[in-house]
Amino acid sequence: MKIKFVSVENSIAEWADKKALLKRWDGLNQYTLNRWLSEMRSHKNFRDYVINPTHKLVFINLEGFEEFVRWKQGAVK
């Protein structure tokens, strides 16, 4: 099964797959993204931002991902 996001005119995407997220966050690599998604799934504040309807298919909420990255920035200090 191959699912393709088709943008609707005048709409803003709320969710993305890994490939789209890596394009949006230029410089982020697959290895780091996988680690971060695993961390998001295990954290109560961020688990609702990652949906896995199947083993291979994953959707990430774009605002939730940005919130997580900003949280990581503060948590690293």
CA 68, CA 54: separation in Å to the nearest integer? Answer: 23
CA atoms within 13 A on the CB side of 2: 2
Taking the C-alpha atoms of residue 8 and residue 67, their distance in angstroms, rounded to an integer, is 25
Q: CA nearest 64: which of 31, 27, 34, 37? A: 37
Alpha helices (runs of H) in 1-77, residue ranges in sequence order:
18-24, 30-42, 62-76
Report pTM.
Answer: 0.80
Q: Where are the domains of the chain?
A: 15-76
pLDDT in tens, the chain (77 residues): 555 555 555 557 799 999 999 999 889 999 999 999 999 999 999 999 999 999 889 999 999 999 999 999 987 65
Are 41 and 47 in contact, with CB atoms under 8 Å apart?
yes
